[in-house]
Structure 1
Amino acid sequence: MDERIKKTILSLQRNNMAGYFVQDREELLLLLAKLIQPGETVGCGDSATLEETGVFDFIRNGRYTFYDKHKSDLTREEKRAIYLRNFDADTFLTGTNAVTVDGKLFNIDGNGSRVAPMLYGPKQVIVVVGINKLTDSTQDAIDRTRQVAAPMDAKRLCKDTPCTKLGRCIDCRHPQRICNDFVLIAGQFVKDRIKVIIVNQALGY
Structure 2
Amino acid sequence: MDKNTVWYIEKKLERTKAALVKKNYDVYIVESKEEALSKVIDLIEKGSTVSFGGSMTVIDSGMVEALRKCDLNLLDRYKEGLTPDEIQKVFRDSFFADYYITSSNAITENGELVNLDGTGNRAAAMIFGPKKVIIVAGYNKIVRDLNEAYNRVRNCAAPKNCKRLSRKTPCTETGVCMDCSSGDRICNYYVVTYRQNVKGRGIVILVKEELGY
Report the TM-score, using the length of structure 1 for normalisation: 0.97
Q: Aligned runs of 1:48-59 on 2, under 5 Å? A: 48-59=56-67
Shift of 1:25: 2.4
SS in 2 for 1:114: helix
Q: Aligned runs of 1:161-200 on 2, under 5 Å? A: 161-200=169-208
Which one of the candidate residues 34, 49, 54 is aligned to 1:46?
54
> For residue 112 of structure 1, what is the aligned residue in structure 2?
120
AA in 2 matched with 1:66? L
Write out the 4+ residue segments of structure 1 that deviate beyond 4 Å after TM superposition.
none
Q: Aligned runs of 1:59-74 on 2, under 5 Å? A: 59-74=67-82
1:89 and 2:97 are equivalent in the alignment: yes
Identity fraction in percent: 39
Which one of the candidate residues 25, 32, 38 is aligned to 1:24?
32
AA in 1 matched with 2:168? D
Deviations 1:154-191 (A, max 9, x none): 01011010000110001111111000000001112210
Deviations 1:87-121 (A, max 9, x none): 00000000110000000100000001111110101
Size of the alignment, in residue pairs? 205
Unaligned runs of 5+ in 2: 1-6
Deviations 1:126-176 (A, max 9, x none): 000000000000110110010011000001011010000110001111111
> For residue 102 of structure 1, what is the aligned residue in structure 2?
110
Separation (CA, whole Å) in 1 of partners of 2:41 and 2:153: 30
Separation (CA, whole Å) in 1 of partners of 2:176 and 2:38: 37
1:143 and 2:151 are equivalent in the alignment: yes
> For residue 157 of structure 1, what is the aligned residue in structure 2?
165
Separation (CA, whole Å) in 2 of partners of 1:26 and 1:166: 34
Contact 2:24 2:196 in 1 (8 A): yes
Report the TM-score, using the length of structure 2 for normalisation: 0.94
Separation (CA, whole Å) in 2 of partners of 1:172 and 1:201: 32
AA in 1 matched with 2:42? K
Separation (CA, whole Å) in 2 of partners of 1:72 and 1:157: 17
Separation (CA, whole Å) in 2 of partners of 1:131 and 1:80: 31
Separation (CA, whole Å) in 2 of partners of 1:131 and 1:172: 29
Unaligned runs of 5+ in 1: none
Aligned Cα RMSD in Å? 1.0
AA in 1 matched with 2:106? A
Shift of 1:192: 1.4
Separation (CA, whole Å) in 2 of partners of 1:33 and 1:109: 26
